[in-house]
Structure 1
C-alpha cells in the first residue's frame, strides 16, 4: 500500500489533512449554528448550508482554469491565505442580526474562493506525480492514500468542535451561540499548520507545481492528444460528473438531514461498547489494530512484524481498559459527534478496499473506475435504505417537535450503520473518481477537468437543500426514499454508458 510511493504524495496529503481538519470542524456545527444563532428554519438553514457547500465545490473549476495557465503551486498558496481570512472573519462573534448574517456570508465567500484555489489544484499536483511511466500503475493506490489522509483530518474535527464549544461555555462563560465561533477559530490554526507542512516539504513536489500542457507516453516522450481523443475524454468525464452529482446530494446529507435526525430523533445517551464508540480515542485504537494487522501479515522483516504485534496488543489493552473503566458510564451523545464515524470508517476501510482490489487486479478481475463508481451509487442507496427502515413508525419532524414527553427516539446504531454502508459507497466512488479524472483528463485541461469534478460536487451540494425542505411535514421514509431512488437511477444510467466510459480508461 505505502511501498514505492513518492515522498511528495505524503507531503501534499498532510498539507491537505490540516486544511480538511479545520474545514470539517466548522462543518460539524455549521447547520446547527445557523438555526441557533439566527433562528432560521430547517429549510432556510439548509439553503444557506447547501449554497455554501456548492460554492466551495464550484470555485475549484475557476481555480483550475487559472492554474492551467499560471501554475498549480501558486494557486494553492494563494488559496490557503484567502481561506485563512474567511475563517478568521467567521471566528468573530457579532450576534444574530442582519449585519452579522451579511458579515458571515462575506466570510463564507472567502472560504469558498480560497478552497477553490487550493483543493482541486492540490489534487492535480498529486496526479501529476504519477505521470512518470514507472509510477502510473500506482495512481489508484495513491489517491486512496490521499483520500485517507483527508479523512484523518476530518476524523478528529467533530470532537474538536464539541470540546472547544464546551470549554468556551463552561470554562470561559461564553453563551452557547458565541461558543460556535471558537469552533470556527480552530480552522484558522489548522491552516497555519497546513501551510507550514506545504513549504517544509516543498522540495518533494516542486516539479509538479507548474502547468501540465503535454502528455508523457511510456517511453518518456511528449505527445499531443488528437482533437477527437480530447473530445472523447471530455465527454466521458462529463458523463461521470453528471452521475456523481446525485451521490454528493445524498452523501452531504451527513451535515444536514442526518445531523437533524441525530439531533431530533436519536437517543441522547449511550453505554457499553456503543458509548465507547463516541470517544474518538477508541476509534483510533481500532484503526491502529486494522493497520497493524495488515503490517503483521505483509511486512517482510521480523522486526516490523514484532512492532505490529506490539501495536495490536497495546491497542487491545487500551480498549480493554476503557471498557472496564467506562462501559458502565452513561455517555452524552450530541448530534455533531456522529460526523466522526464516516472519516473513521474511511481510514479503517481504506487498506481493506486496497487489499480487495489488489487481489482482484492480480486475478485480472478488478472493476474499472467507472464500474466502481456505479457500484458506489448502489451502495449509497443501500445506506439510505437502512435509514428508511430505522425511521418506520417515527413521527414527522414537525410532529416530533411538539410531542414533548411523547417524542420518539431511536438507537444511535441506525446512524452508525448508515454511515458505515455509506462509507463503502464513498470509497468506491470518490477516490476512484478523482483518480479517473487525473488519468483521463486531457493534459492541457487537467485543472479545469479536476475543477469539473468539483462542479459536479457543487451541484450535488446545492441539491442537498432538498433534504432541508423535505424536513418538516413529510414522513421520514419519504425523505430517505428520495435519495434511494436518485442513487439507483444514477447507477442505472452509469451502467448504460459503461462501454463509452471504459473505452477511455
Structure 2
C-alpha cells in the first residue's frame, strides 16, 4: 500500500505509526491491504460471474447455455440482483449479533466459493439456480461486514490525530478502488473463457477468484487488529428466534405465492419465483416504513425527514430499475446488434461490462474534487438526484438511438455503448454517493442502521422491478423499449426537480 501524499519514505511500512526524528509519521492501519485484497477478489468473482450470467442463460442449449428466452434470462438476472441486496439484511444481522464481522466475511466467502463451484459444474438449470442462490446468500453475509471491518481499523487507532476523518475517507477511497479494479478485470477474463471456451470455465474462473480472496482472508486474519474480529454483540435467544421466524416467514411467503401462481394462473415455476420474489422485495420496504412511522416517540422533525426519504427511496429505485439493465438487456443487445470486430477479431460481448468500472476509476476522483471545489455552491440533494435521473434518461435514449439504427438488421458501432455507459456512470456518480450521504443525514438516531438498510433495499427493489419491465422487450423493439425507459427517467427527473424546494423543506423538518 503506497503512502499518502506528504509522508516520508522512512515510515515503517508494517505498523500503524512510526517515530522518526521526534515526529510521528502516520500510515493507514495495518490490515487495510488485507481487506483490500479480499474485497478485490470477491468483486472479481461477483462481477465476473455477473458479466456472463445473462448470456449463459439465453445461449442455446447446443452452445452450452440454458436456452431461455431473452426476457426470462433478463428477469432472472434482475431477481438475482434483488436477492443479493435482500440477503444483506439477515447477513448484516448475523455479523452484528452472532458471528462478528470477520466470521461473517469468512463464512460468506466459503458460501460464495461453493456457489461459483456449483455454477462451474455443467449440471443443468437446477445447479445454476442453486449456485446463484449460494452466491447471493454468501454475498449478503460478506458485503456489509467487510466495509464495517475497514471502519473499525480506524476506530482501533489510539492517537487522536490518526482518527482524522480525512485519513478514514482516504482509506475507504483506496478500499473502494479495489472494487473497481476487480470489477474491471473480471469480465475480461471470465468473458473470454465463458464465450470463447466454455461457459462453465468462466464460472470456474470466478470461483478461483473468490478462493484466492478466501485464502487471503484466512492467512491475513491473524494479522488484523482484534477489534475487527470480535463480536460486537451476542444475540439473545429471543432475538435469534425472532430473526429465524422472520426469515422463515419470508421464505414461506415466496414459496406459497409461487405455488399459488403456478396452480391458479398456470405459470411456470421460474416465472412464479420471479413474481413472488418481486412481491417480497416490494413488501419489505413498505413494512420498514410503516414500522418506523408507527414507532412511539418520533418527533415532528424525524417524521418530516422520513417522509422526504420515501421520495428519495422511490427515485433511487427508479434509477436502479433502469441502470441494472446494463448487465441484462443491454448485454443481449450488444450480443445481437453491435459490431464487435476489432482488427478482424470479434471480442466477447461481456467485455462491455468492464466499461462501467473503467469509467469509475477515471472519474471518481474528478467528481469528488468537483463537489469539494463547489463547496456551498454545489447542487442540493434533490438537484443531484434530478441530474442523476436526467443523465440516466439521456444514456437510455442513446441506447434507443442504437436500437433504431439496428432496426434494419445491420450491426451498429460500439461507440453507441461506449458513450451510453459513460453518461450512465456520470449520472450514477451524481446520485449514488448522494443517496448514501443523505441516508445518514436524514436517519433518526434510533433508525440509523435501518435507514441504511433501506438504501440498499432501493437497489433490491429496482432490480426486482427490472425483472418485470424487461418483459416488455417481447412487445416492443429495442429502439422503442429504450426510448420509453429513457423518457420515463427524464419524467422522473423533472418531477424531482420541480419538487426540490418542497423536499428540501421536508429534509430540514419543516412541514
User: Given the two structures, how large is their TM-score scaled by the length of structure 2?
Assistant: 0.70
Contact 1:377/1:491, CA 8 A, preserved across alignment: yes
The one of 352, 356, 365 equivalent to 1:338 is 352
- Deviation string 1:309-344 (CA, Å, 9 cap, x unpaired) is xxxxxxxxxxxxxxxxxxxx3342221011111100
C-alpha change, 1:373 and 1:129, in structure 2 (3 Å) is: farther
Cα shift at 1:102: 2.1
Contact 1:80 1:118 in 2 (8 A): yes
1:83, 1:147 → 2: CA distance? 20
Distance 1:422 1:127, change over 3 A: farther
1:424-452 Cα deviation digits (max 9, x unpaired): 01112223323443455455544433322
Mark the runs of 5 or more structure 2 residues left unpaired by the alignment: 6-25, 60-64, 235-296
Distance 2:371 2:220 in 1: 31
1:130-155 per-residue CA deviation (whole Å, 9 max, x = no partner) reads 88996456777666554443121100
After superposition, the Cα gap between the structure-2 partners of 1:257 and 1:13, relative to the gap in structure 1 and judged at 3 Å, is same
User: Which stretch shifts more, 21-30 or 43-52?
Assistant: 43-52
Question: CA 1:181–1:115 in structure 2 vs 1: closer, same or farther (change >3 Å)?
Answer: closer
Aligned mate of 1:152, from 181, 186, 191: 181
Moved more, 18-27 or 144-153: 144-153
1:383 aligns with 2:395: yes
Pairwise CA distance, 1:374: 3.1
- Residues in 2 aligned to 1:80 and 1:114: alpha-carbon distance in whole angstroms: 6
Aligned equivalent of 1:31: 54
Which residue of the partner structure matches residue 79 of structure 1?
108
RCO (CA 8 Å, sep 6+): is it higher in 1 or 2? 1
What corresponds to 2:42 in structure 1?
19
SS at match of 2:81: helix
Match of 2:313 in 1: 241
Equivalent residue for 1:458, pick from 457, 460, 477: 460
Q: Residue 121 of structure 1 contacts residue 447 of structure 1 at CA under 8 Å; is this kept in 2?
A: no
Q: Which residue of the partner structure matches residue 436 of structure 2?
A: 434
**2:238 maps to 1:210:** no
Q: C-alpha separation between the residues in 1 aligned to 2:167 and 2:378?
A: 14
Structure 2 partner of 1:488: 490
User: Residue 304 of structure 2 contacts residue 507 of structure 2 at CA under 8 Å; is this kept in 1?
Assistant: no
The 3-state SS of whatever aligns with 1:192 is helix
Deviations 1:191-234 (A, max 9, x none): 4256258626632972997369xxxxxxxxxxxxx743655555
SS in structure 2 at match of 1:156: helix
CA distance in 2, matches of 1:450, 1:24: 23
Q: CA deviation at 1:177?
A: 4.7
How far the C-alpha of 1:359 sits from its partner, in A, is 1.1
2:291 aligned with 1:267, yes or no?
A: no
Q: Which moved more, 1:381-390 or 1:128-137?
A: 128-137
Within 2, Cα distance between the matches of 1:5 and 1:383? 41
Q: Deviations over 1:328-363 (max 9, x none)?
A: x334222101111110000011111122112112xx
For residues 89-110 of structure 1, give each alpha carbon's deviation from its aligned partner in whole angstroms, at most 9, with x where no partner exists. Answer: 222221xxxxx31222222111
Change (3 A) 1:166 1:177: closer
Report what 1:374 is aligned to: 386
Query: 1:458: how far off?
Result: 0.9
SS in structure 1 of the partner of residue 338 of structure 2: coil
The CA deviation at 1:392 is 2.5
- Tell me: CA distance 1:13–1:463, structure 2 relative to 1, closer, same or farther (3 Å): farther
SS in 2 for 1:437: helix
Counterpart secondary structure, 2:87: helix
Report the TM-score, using the length of structure 1 for normalisation. Answer: 0.71
Deviation at 1:164, TM superposition (A): 3.0
Between the aligned partners of 1:120 and 1:485, the Cα distance in structure 2 is 34
The 1:129/1:353 distance shift into structure 2, 3 A limit, reads: farther
Please tell me whether the aligned partners of residues 106 and 214 of structure 2 are also in contact (alpha carbons under 8 angstroms): no
- For 2:70, the equivalent position in structure 1 comes to 42
Q: Could you tell me which of 348, 356, 362 is aligned with 2:362?
A: 348
| More off after superposition, 187-196 vs 337-346 | 187-196
Aligned residue pairs, count: 410
2:278 corresponds to 1:250: no
Is 2:455 the counterpart of 1:449?
A: no
Note the aligned Cα RMSD (angstroms): 3.5
Paired residues of 1:250 and 1:464 also in contact (CA < 8 A): yes
Is contact 2:393-2:489 (8 Å) kept?
yes
